[in-house]
Structure 1
Amino acid sequence: MSPYVNPSGGFDRDSRYITTRITADGRDGYPVEPGRYRLVVSRACPWANRAIIVRRLLGLEPVLSMAVAGPTHDERSWTFDLDEGGRDPVLGYERLQEAFFARFPDYDRGITVPAIVDVPSGQVVTNDFPQMTIDLSLEWTEHHREGAPQLYPEHLRAEIDEVDAHVFRDVNNGVYKCGFAGTQEAYEKAYDRLFSRLDRLSERLSHQRYLVGDTITEADVRLFTTLARFDPVYHGHFKCNRHKLSEMPVLSAYFRDLYQTPGFGDTIDVDHIKRHYYEVHRDINPTGIVPAGPDLSGWLEPHGREELGGRPFGDGTPPPPPVPEEVVPAEHQPQAA
């Protein structure tokens, strides 16, 4: 049974994050500075995937470098096993936990991604993933690319926050509540809330292209990363099996629209996603066997969402292609049928 299961069988996420912020005025002791920080991610993780997407959309690659941990980890945290010699070339670390212990020697919470590390000191600054992407939008504006979209516009923030709260509780975290439930009752409660919310989101998106307003916002980024993992992982591994995403017409088209938008689909590594969930969660999948399917070629099919109007980047422009060292291998992405 997962260590996050409470006595009644429900999954409780450890949300005790390091809330230090990197801000334009440096009020927490960490000012925005080009080249000073390193974003540590795993392409397997939906929370880290948010940060990867926002960094891409805003064009922060030249000022905020990125370390990609491997798709699997043990109880001691994420490792840099994708890098030569098994060490991150900038931080010199084998494991992300080294950055946490460098700042907090007695750190006893989760060693999670995404995390931002202060390169000069080698110390973690924050792993507060909900705030992290907001700060990339609002505090790093001086370094945004020309044409960067407004992902958290002031006039829509209250609505974005409201949508995000429901999506996090019932969908982003809801799939985990299904997957790690310790009792039938807890599982069915989470299952019902998940699909009830997906039905409401389908209704909302049946008459508007994006979740809030007529452009892509933080709300779309947060829902997208869960939808990307739905058919490959959550449907089977986490028993979220009323329908596949591909069997939910509105949400499937909405997902395809975003997946085919620069900055979204080009961040998705299906191989890393499947390996992480099926190899790491041995309490759910004791054999560690990774499924060969499903066929995801449908992600590349037309979505037809243009008919609803909307402008993906508002008055801005699409991001340029990923920098060469951050391109996801073609064999790790869906191929046309």
Structure 2
Amino acid sequence: MTVTPQAARATAQLVPAFRGRIGRDARSGHYAVPGRYRLYLSTASPDSLRIAVAHSLLGLDTVCSVTFLPAVPDCPEGGHSALRPLYEASAHRYIGPAVAPVLSDDWSGRIVSTHAPDIMRDLARRFDTGGLSLYPCGAESEIEAVERMCAQGMDEAAQRAGSSDGGQAERDAALGTLLETLDALDRWLVGRTYVIRDEVTAADVELWVALVQLDTVHRNHLDAAAVQRIADHPVLWTYARRLAAHPAFGTHLDLDGIERRHHARCRGLEAAGAAVQILDWAAHAAH
């Protein structure tokens, strides 16, 4: 097991990043055995929401169990008390927050990974359910490009655009980056059902969750004019609405939990954009 410290988004403390992988066979230590692994997810967080959607798309209900955690962590340091024993068993004298997502090994009672991209890839590649391929052959570079667009061009840019720190010029530049990203995606999706292939892939999971975050979290810190400009991408938001109606996506959308988690974590100022909802997610989400 490799444990390296990384900065956690929800806390100033250091959180070990468990980066174990599920391998192809017994020589790898962690190998694919139905019923061996368990996911701990809080779908109010974007990383957990991505994994939950991928788990459903892959049809892994009987292969890898899922324990769903509350939207708002119940420990003062920002972790979940239910995960504390697992973290302590996996890292000697662990004192940081016990955060989700977690992929654990029920055989050893220890954490395999807390790194969402690795977890998604291992679930998709190591458990063959004979159905959907989230990471089709030859598509890895395209999926990684979408991941970067979502992380940098959308999530990070939206955070900077709505930040109370920094100057107006910095916020304007960040909003420009966000709008350029949305423009590119809106043009790209014209005539397309999915982002890179003729069926849903991990790129769609990444983009859909990023759009959920943009409309349910980031717009709270943007002015109304900025949110109107974000909403003016009809192809992109039609795509988001269509995927919300897909059972693997919409059933995991915890709007109340996202709101409670956001208000519990965020110390920024609410802006006029909070009142300008782009999509009625509850009306379109599959139940």
In the TM superposition, what are the counterparts of 1:181-330 in structure 2 within 5 Å? 182-184=165-167, 186-237=170-221, 242-243=226-227, 246-281=231-266, 283-284=267-268, 294=277, 296-297=279-280, 300=283
SS state at 2:227 partner: coil
Greater percentage in helix: 2
SS state at 1:38 partner: strand
CA distance in 1, matches of 2:174, 2:95: 28
The answer to whether the 8 A contact 1:232-1:293 is kept is no
Count of matched residue pairs: 272
1:52-80 deviation line (CA, Å, top 9, x unaligned): 0111011101121111111112553433x
Structure 1 unaligned spans of 5+: 6-11, 80-93, 302-332
CA distance in 1, matches of 2:224, 2:121: 29
Q: Find the counterpart in structure 1 of residue 133 from structure 2.
A: 150
Q: Which amino acid aligns with 1:212?
A: I
- CA RMSD, 1 decimal: 3.2
**Post-superposition offset of 1:292:** 9.2
Q: Which amino acid aligns with 2:253?
A: I
Q: Find the counterpart in structure 1 of residue 109 from structure 2.
A: 122
The answer to whether the 8 A contact 1:113-1:127 is kept is yes
1:73-108 deviation line (CA, Å, top 9, x unaligned): 2553433xxxxxxxxxxxxxx332332221112447
In the TM superposition, what are the counterparts of 1:44-193 in structure 2 within 5 Å? 44-73=44-73, 74-79=75-80, 94-107=81-94, 111-141=98-128, 144=129, 146=130, 148-179=131-162, 182-184=165-167, 186-193=170-177
The answer to whether the 8 A contact 1:279-1:285 is kept is no
CA distance in 1, matches of 2:182, 2:256: 25
SS state at 2:82 partner: coil
**Post-superposition offset of 1:227:** 1.0
Flag the 1:200–1:110 CA change in 2: closer, same or farther, 3 A.
farther
**Post-superposition offset of 1:296:** 4.7
The answer to whether the 8 A contact 2:45-2:258 is kept is yes
CA distance in 2, matches of 1:95, 1:35: 20
Q: Which amino acid aligns with 1:23?
A: G
**Post-superposition offset of 1:246:** 4.4
The answer to whether the 8 A contact 1:20-1:28 is kept is no
CA distance in 2, matches of 1:27, 1:178: 48
1:10-56 deviation line (CA, Å, top 9, x unaligned): xx9x8973211122325542112222221011110111111001110
SS state at 2:247 partner: coil
**Post-superposition offset of 1:189:** 3.7
**Post-superposition offset of 1:179:** 4.8
Q: Which amino acid aligns with 1:224?
A: W
CA distance in 1, matches of 2:15, 2:172: 23
**Post-superposition offset of 1:128:** 1.0
Flag the 1:24–1:106 CA change in 2: closer, same or farther, 3 A.
same
Q: Find the counterpart in structure 2 of residue 19 from structure 1.
A: 19
In the superposition, the TM-score normalised over structure 1's length comes to 0.70
Flag the 1:207–1:46 CA change in 2: closer, same or farther, 3 A.
same
In the superposition, the TM-score normalised over structure 2's length comes to 0.81
Flag the 1:78–1:51 CA change in 2: closer, same or farther, 3 A.
same
**Post-superposition offset of 1:206:** 1.8
Q: Find the counterpart in structure 1 of residue 3 from structure 2.
A: none
SS state at 1:51 partner: helix
**Post-superposition offset of 1:110:** 6.2
SS state at 1:183 partner: coil
Q: Tell me whether 199-208 or 39-48 shows the greater mean CA deviation.
A: 199-208
